Amino acid sequence: MKKTKETTLAEFNEWTKGDKKVKEGYALEFKEARNNFNIDKDLTDYCAGISNTGGGKLLLGVDDTGKVVGSTVFSGRENKLPHILLQKIGLNVGVEEFEHPDGRVLIFHIPSRPRGQVIMSSGKYKYPIRVGESLVEMDTMTLKGILNEAEADFSSLIAKDFLLADIDDAAIENFKVRWGQKAKREDYRSYQHEKILRSNGLLSDKGLNYACLILFGKKEKLDELMPGSEIIYEWREDSKKTDYDYRASWREPFFKVHNAVWDTINARNIRFSFQERLFQREIFAFNEKAIREAVLNAVTHRDYAISNRSVFIKASPQGFFIESPGGLPYGITVENILRETSWRNRLIAETFEKSGLVERSGQGMDDIFQSTIKEGKGLPDLSGSDNFSVRLRIPAQVKDKNFVLFIEKIANEKQVKLSFDEILELEKIREGQPVKHVEHKNRLLEIGLIERVGRTIGAKYILSHKYYAHIGKVGLHTRFTGIERDKIKELIIKHLGKNKGFLRDLKQAFPELKPMDISNLLQELKREGKIRSNGWARASYWELNK
């Protein structure tokens, strides 16, 4: 059960007394639900509807007047409800069993929807919303207005009470140097602060914006206006430990501390060495490009409207974890993050690009994935992300150094350069042998990095025999290539042990196979002396040899 502050009787009485209509209009919903309240319809609708309206509380076991009548619903299952709701509507709802003198009440503490996002229900309504005391389907204009929230660039908004005198000299000098080097303009270093800021859209006639505050504002001004603009770092010798072994934090202009953040992480970096013929190779647990990109992504895309949370980094010899406030930007999902591009704070992203901190805005996640794959560490993991946080795990330990050497060897032999998409596909094949759908299969087959197993619609792809020869495990290759066909033949034998083998029945039993492929397998079994054909024409069937 999600931990929530326990409700006192005084607080409860305050909710339920007086004119319930006024209170319920902004935060409260009372339902008798004495013995029944459907999870898939009622509960998801009300939780999503209250969240879409700004958050509040749903009280089960309370009638329309605020009188406690008691409820038995979900008794004994309270602890499971937060997880169920998280799965169904993607919302972290606190659930509290409240023992009132007049009966049991179940209290749901429902947070407001994230900015720019709508909570979808699995019940009667798709996007429910509370209007007065009623639950209704969200109208098009309201839905559009919420989605448009995500399009506003927070970093370009004017930061009140933030003046030129509040600019940190060291931070803007660092930017000048980087900007001049990237643009090949040494004269940029002589520009006054005001000219630098105006030239980069960080200052207008209306004033300085939040991008300027986050990137160049003095610590004192950040403490005052944006305390959540902070990076917290913790190191643990063992990732399973609760207590950290080292901690550091930075609430300062990013252009002043970005190197300090990396230096602190790198101070505990671990080097993996391995021999490649006559040469010694090294791979570090924390790849500088990948780690810097992860930090830049967090600073660029976090939701700065959430002022009470910071960017949080946890590192250990096992991996690197970074969490930033706010879900993924509108239109971006864990599944499409490598294909789609969106900015929550576009002005910050553009400033990073101008300074050369990033090569191309929107490419950071590609670089993170590519570096971990090329170093044989496997794939980064974003699966822990939800509507309120983006959580990225980057593996630190080398899983398969032979995979790295194999790709380099083939690429050098064939004189080819693999694209990021091709490398990503190879890694997925390596981790999940065998794979059915390969987008770049023709080129990977031609180069000799993969091979196809089977000749039917059910054909799959594995790493080529060259890879298994390279790592000295050709037996594993044999198992991958032979297991599918042998398994189908075993299933055919099993089927014929119980049934006459009419071709029409075998087609139904193996819908992924073409009729010709089934016939080929039957002929193989016949040549092996395991089955025989009986009957003639359409009445013919296959049976076991006895």
Domain 9-149 has CATH 3.30.1490.100: no
- d(Cα 468, Cα 475) in Å, to the nearest integer? 8
Of 281, 292, 262, 446, nearest in space to 374 by CA: 281
Looking at residue 382, its pLDDT comes to 94
Is residue 459 within 8 A of residue 453, CB to CB? The reply is yes
Looking at residue 21, its pLDDT comes to 45
Residue type, 241: K
H/E element holding 137?
strand 134-137
Mean pLDDT by 10 residues, the chain (546 residues): 73 78 62 93 94 92 93 92 93 94 95 88 92 86 74 87 97 96 92 96 97 98 96 96 96 98 97 68 91 96 91 97 90 84 89 89 81 90 90 93 83 86 85 64 86 71 84 72 73 87 82 78 91 85 87
Pairing outcome for strands 28-31 and 56-60: parallel
CATH numeric code, 152-398: 3.30.565.60
Looking at residue 280, its pLDDT comes to 60
Q: Tell me the fold of 486-544.
A: Arc Repressor Mutant, subunit A (1.10.10)
Instruction: Spell out the SS3 assignment of 146-213.
Output: HHHHCCCCHHHCECCCCCHHHECHHHHHHHHHHHHHHHCCHHHHHCCHHHHHHHCCCEECCEEEHHHH
- Residue 85 per-residue DSSP state: H
Domain with CATH 3.30.565.60 in the chain: 152-398
Q: Tell me the fold of 401-472.
A: Arc Repressor Mutant, subunit A (1.10.10)
Domain with CATH 3.30.950.30 in the chain: 9-149
H/E element holding 475?
helix 474-496
Looking at residue 455, its pLDDT comes to 63
Looking at residue 221, its pLDDT comes to 97
Looking at residue 456, its pLDDT comes to 58
Burial 225-257 (b: 16+ CB within 10 A, else e): bbebbbbbbbbbeeeeeeeeeeeeebbbbbbbb
- Residue 322 per-residue DSSP state: E
Domain with CATH 1.10.10.10 in the chain: 486-544
